[in-house]
Amino acid sequence: MTTPASANLAKPLEGLTVVDFCQFLSGPYAALRLSDLGARVIKIENAQGGDLCRRLYISNLELDGDSTLFHSINRNKESVAVNLKQPEDRAFVEELLQGADIMMQNFRPGVIERLGFSFEKVTAINPRIIYGSISGYGQEGPLVGMPGQDLLVQSISGIAWQNERAGEAPVPFGLAVADMMAGAHLVQGLLAAAVRRAITGKGAKVEVSLLESTLDTMQEVWSDELQQPGAREGSRPPVEQPPLGGIYAAREGWLALGAVPAADVAALGRLVGSAALAAGGEPAASRAELQRALRADTAAQWAARLEAAGFACAEVLDWLQLLQTEAFRRLEMVQTVRRANGVELATLRCPIRIDGRQFRSPVGSPQIGEHNERIARELAERKMTRAGASGGANEKGA
């Protein structure tokens, strides 16, 4: 639990300023993690509608005019609404970049260049900046022009075949795994570049793609495929469980059973009351026999018995069931964030702990352009400070 003493400590990234052109999920998720750890994140949004994620609904839930997904991954950020076709707005963003530590963008290749904020132009404004980019498929090759959408990336990467069974259709993950992994990888690269800059003073260009990040999550599959291409039937590798490992239906609920060493199969058979399983046999027949035996009791009853006997197992919970468990309560994962107008949202906290400390923030997601005036004042004050310093230097020189 967070103690009052630790609550007053600075977060590790406090003092870093991030100018974030990203929208949808991958980039905003990366910026969220930086924000959770203390960085100041300023979203650059189109004045006409803002981040498209504001209208990206994964359910029918909406709060204060924006999707709950937008609220959850854009908490504790500031919003500046601009029209980059207007010279005064472009100058405003350039002034922001002069004082920034990190810039992030996840447009299709070529778009940020047309907007006038390529790596070359931004580093001319601020040579020490760390410039982060997320693309769908990298910066070159035949896929560059394709939409960088999570479903498409899952389909191209082969990961949609991971759950294929007996000729069934490929099944994509029910989560945006490509977006989330790319966002996590961008954070890793940005922080690595920040460490190098602290040593050398040099900025950096950090690039990740949804496709490369998705491939990276498939190390188990590719470790085999690269040694002997096509060794797995049809090059469509299903998720492989050790014999008897997997998810089984109980009389009520579902039970997940971890790997069962061959030496322990007989003991498992005796525990579940199956002489056939205890006697051993072909894996397919043993799985069918175990499934038959497990239907005799509920998943909760089996989990208690199997765990007591030293077998790795767990009930398969849905989200509502998990919310009601003591284990979930003890994690203290839920926090409440609040917009300036008082609208509240329950969401998850940062999953990282440092020195035992949880990282939370009560600040909700921004409304479009909510911080234009405040940041404009800050930039004006910075100009005045620079002008005063320059004048003082000239006087001394005279």
Active-site positions read 179
For residue 254 the two structure tokens come to 């579902």
Amino acid identity of 298? T
Q: Where are the beta strands (DSSP E) in 106-242?
A: 130-135, 204-209
**Three-state SS for 146?**
coil
Q: Report the DSSP pairing between strands 17-20 and 66-67.
A: unpaired
Report d(CA 27, CA 136) in Å as an integer: 12
Which residues are within 8 A (CB) of 200 and not within 5 positions of it... i.e. 6 or more apart?
none
> Is 84 in contact with 1 (CB distance < 8 Å)?
no
> Is 308 in contact with 333 (CB distance < 8 Å)?
no
Report d(CA 42, CA 27) in Å as an integer: 13
Q: DSSP of 28-53, one letter per residue?
A: HHHHHHHHHTT-EEEEEEETTT-SGG
Report d(CA 296, CA 272) in Å as an integer: 9
